[in-house]
Structure 1
């Protein structure tokens, strides 16, 4: 049971990690699209500043609250946007407070000056300004702001020094200032909830996942700059893709609020570099460098300039590695392609050879089929003609036998007149006609389409059709014998009792009227189909 539970928890953790990866990747995609729209957000901010500056021109110089209020609003617009402009307006706020002897406003203005000096890397100047502030008699709000500013100042110089000895001392002082600030103004419920993210996993409620804090920030209705600040703070409680999730959210809102003095995008580039996403890290660190230059954050510019060459070097190495892999892949592909090409050529030759052999076999089979068809046809014709021959011969032998017996009988009896009369009753021409009719009938049984196929080779006016009661006429009979394979003029003449010249004349006359060339006419006759009723 314990093993099953362990595996289930492991799989669930893997799934949650995959989900976080997807979410952080999606936010990075949104961030890139927002950076592409950066100029639009900047133009909107400049329009707001122009409107405030226009209002300032029409403000009564004796009205402290109106002037100070507008200076404060313009300063707020420039505070994280452009150091030089923010410096000008906070100095005006200080001068105005001194002019009207407004102590709280003066202290507030000096702390704002200290904050932008800190942001821009003027640590000594920031220490000097905050050191001038008289902290006695400050309200809780101003006291808390002062302590937080001092805490941030010590933490900032500790990060900048990045030294094991000196940084440790600064971090310790920063922690003390934050503790004192919490004593003066205890954290509210929102701050307490955010602080829960920093509790150790062993004592933190399991429900307090990165998704919980992500949704908690989004649903609080904070302004864009507020979301960015809180997200950046929570990001220090996590590592890897969880940290990228909050840093990406912070940078998106920094872009939308035109915040140029931004720590989030620098931290995002660092974290992506640690995870091996060098290309994205380089893109965001370049954006961070542009922002630092635009704002005038010297300390951030130094940090970025230290980091960028490392990222760029690794990116170059990765690109070179990718090019090497691509080159190796291309060469491998080229070698494989050449081998495949030669194999394809060999294969194609084999296929062509096989197809040629198949074609030759088909042609031979076709020839064999044709020969077999002709042999079968010839056999069937011979069978029919031999049957006709024996039937005819048998009939004439029987007739001759009758004539012989009758003639011998009459001669024995001396009836010579009856012999003469009997022999005169034997009509040779009639018998010859009967023989032709029998031959015609047998032929048309074998070639029932002969007459129509024959006439299809002639013009309509030259076609030859048997008369009523005829099977074949003389012309058709000559070509019928040719279809049976009897081609010699002498043989045809003897069978039909014609002269050779008559047979020749008939043939030439028909050929001259044919629709096909004369030389092809006999071949067309031979192509008339033989039909065997028993074979169908």
Structure 2
């Protein structure tokens, strides 16, 4: 029983994480759509910081401003960050500040590591002498060395040097932790990095989540913590949580206006490998490539081009398959069109023959007038039958039966008419036949019968149609049914629009009105609408529950 409860709890937690991840994908798309706003805020902040330099005369204060600018530019624009690092180094030389000079040399080495210039970074760091008592410089120095060997470890993966660089990375990250200010977000982030290769996923998760709880979601360290935690969950094969923190990192990167975009790149690869969403993967990888070009990171671009090539190859393969199916569809459509053209030719020829026969029968149609009374009885019988079906069967069956009976009636009438014509011709009663067929009552009665059937069937399908239509109209333009529960001509026009018959010419043909009359009815309806601009769209949405 306990195992069953644990299994159910685990399944529910997976479902919950899946639902959260879907919302995070929506959130990611939202922040990407608004990234221009985040970048504008970033540029405004940078402008304000740079503007402050004009009002600072003290060299130390100016160095602090340079430090802020370097921190802001580091994940955003490499070249700009390096410009202010060099300005700070030059100023530190002028005022003979060995501490600031060393600090900015360390920062310069760290930037070179991010750019992929490992030898140059190592040369700078090897020349520096760090006072043992200066905790801040020791912290920065060991952080830079750990970053250097971490990147070397990644770039030499599966080689004989990989383990050596991994050991050196661990050595310097351990030293950096000793000098890191305790119990702040940076400390918990560094602690999580330290535990990454030798700690449990629980301890790693605790450290990174603690760091994230102390940070705003639009900060770079928040994004770095979420990204590192996603890597830890990936390492422990917890794919749902890995995806969750990867999405959080990508969202934070966009909000913080960083151009490193490592998380978004991994999201794109995940979509390609696990979800086969090539369109979205291509969109994300293209965005990360733009970011890399803005940041001017050679190393990042090399990796991105490799990933972009993989995704684009799969995307092109998908397009080729789609193109193949599209060609098959086009060929099928062309074949179908050929069949339709042949059918049209056949029908036209048959119509021509029928017209010839019709010319011969014109003199006999007058004799069919006596059949009208019988047709009235047939209409009454059909109506009674439809009413019986309506109350004894379900609504859908009733509509189907009404349609079948209506078709049967017209088939029977045509058959009776054919028999009558044959009989009258045989009896040499052409004049009487011509009189019957020339009766003007026939078309009127058939139209009325059609309207009656249409009104009943439509109101059975959409009993609330009139009320919902009136809700779209101004109070003084409300429409009511006729006393016998039949639709008015205006309501029939609205009903056909609701059934997606929107062309006035087709409506005119169905209701036996002129196109101008239909136009007048539609204009009256639209002019009476509360929302004139979207009246037709709103009309097609009424009675959606039936």
TM beyond 0.5? yes
1:274 CA drift (Å): 2.8
SS in 1 for 2:129: coil
For the residues of structure 1 that align with 2:199 and 2:121, how far apart are their CA atoms? 40
Aligned pair in 2 of structure 1 residues 351, 69: CA closer, same or farther (>3 Å)?
same
Change (3 A) 1:134 1:357: closer
Q: 1:138 to 1:260 in 2, by over 3 A?
A: farther
What pairs up with 1:93-112 in 2 under 5 angstroms?
93-112=88-107
SS at match of 2:233: coil
d(CA) in 2 for partners of 1:295 and 1:238?
Answer: 28
Q: RMSD of aligned C-alpha atoms?
A: 4.3
CA contact (8 A) 2:217 2:252 kept: no
Mapped pair 1:38 → 2:35? yes
Partner of 2:412: 358
1:244: Cα distance to partner?
A: 2.5
- Gap regions ≥5 residues in structure 1: 367-536
Residue in 2 aligned with 1:280? 280
Cα distance, 1:311 vs structure 2 = 1.1
Query: CA–CA distance in 1 between the matches of 2:211 and 2:66?
Result: 33
For the Cα contact (< 8 Å) 2:113–2:151, is it kept in 1? yes
**SS of equivalent residue, structure 1 residue 238:** helix
| Residue pairs, 1:278-427, within 5 angstroms | 278-325=278-325, 355=409, 357-359=411-413
Partner of 2:357: none
1:27 corresponds in structure 2 to: 24
The structural deviation recorded for 1:281 is: 2.4
Q: Does 1:154 align with 2:149?
A: yes
* 1:250 is the counterpart of 2:246: no
Cα distance, 1:43 vs. partner?
A: 2.5
Determine the structure 2 residue equivalent to 1:495.
none
CA distance in 2 between counterparts of 1:82 and 1:300 reads 13
**1:151: how far off?**
0.8
Report SS of the residue matched to 1:88. Answer: helix
Counting only pairs closer than 5 Å after superposition, residues 60-79 of structure 1 correspond to structure 2 as: 60=57, 63-79=58-74
1:337 to partner: Cα distance? 10
Tell me the CA shift for residue 28 of structure 1: 2.2
1:195 paired to 2:192: yes
Which secondary structure does the structure 1 equivalent of 2:90 belong to? Answer: helix
Cα 1:202–1:341 change in 2 (3 A) is farther
Taking a change above 3 Å as real, the CA distance of residues 201 and 48 of structure 1, as seen in their structure-2 partners, is closer
Q: Post-superposition shift, 1:326?
A: 5.6
Task: Give the conservation status (yes or no) of the 8 Å contact 2:24–2:248.
Answer: yes
1:14–1:52: structure 2 CA closer, same or farther, 3 Å change rule?
A: same
Paired position in structure 1 for 2:51: 54
Counterpart in 2 of 1:84?
79
Structure 2 unaligned spans of 5+: 348-403, 421-546
Cα deviation, residue 19, structure 1: 2.6
Q: Answer whether contact 1:80 1:260 (CA < 8 A) is retained.
A: yes
- 8 Å contact from structure 2 (residues 188, 208) kept in 1: no
Query: Which residue of the partner structure matches residue 179 of structure 1?
Result: 174
Q: Is the contact between residue 197 and residue 234 of structure 1 (CA under 8 Å) also seen in structure 2? A: no
| Residue 242 to residue 278, structure 1, CA distance change in 2 (3 Å) | farther
After superposition, residues 457-536 of structure 1 pair within 5 angstroms as none
Q: Per-residue displacement from partner, 1:90-147 (whole Å, max 9, x unpaired)?
A: 1111111122122221221111111111112221211112112212335223212211
Deviation at 1:87, TM superposition (A): 0.8
Aligned position for 1:237: 232
| C-alpha contact 1:269 1:284 (8 A) present in aligned 2 | yes
Match of 1:391 in 2: none
Larger displacement relative to structure 2 (179-188 or 261-270): 179-188
Count of aligned positions: 358
1:122 aligns with one of 97, 108, 117: 117
| 1:386 alignment counterpart | none
Structure showing greater Rg: 1
CA contact (8 A) 1:93 1:109 kept: yes
Residue of structure 2 equivalent to 1:265 = 264
CA distances 1:214-256 after superposition (whole Å, capped 9, x unpaired)? 6983575465222112111211111334222212222222222
RCO higher in 1 or 2 (8 Å CA, sep ≥ 6)?
1
Cα separation, 2, equivalents of 1:159 and 1:222: 27
User: What secondary structure does 1:137 align onto?
Assistant: coil
Cα distance in structure 1, aligned partners of 2:164 and 2:204: 33
Mapped contact 1:198–1:237 kept (Cα < 8 A): no
Deviation at 1:163, TM superposition (A): 4.4
Which residue matches 1:227? 222
Q: Is this contact kept in 1: 2:201–2:232, CA < 8 A? A: no
Q: 1:14 maps to which residue? A: 11
TM-score normalised by structure 1 residue count: 0.57
Cα distance per residue 1:1-47 (max 9 Å; x no partner): 46xx34x4444433332332332232222222222222222232222
C-alpha displacement at 1:173, in angstroms? 1.3
Displacement, 1:264? Answer: 2.3
- Say whether the 8 Å CA contact 1:160–1:299 is kept in structure 2: no
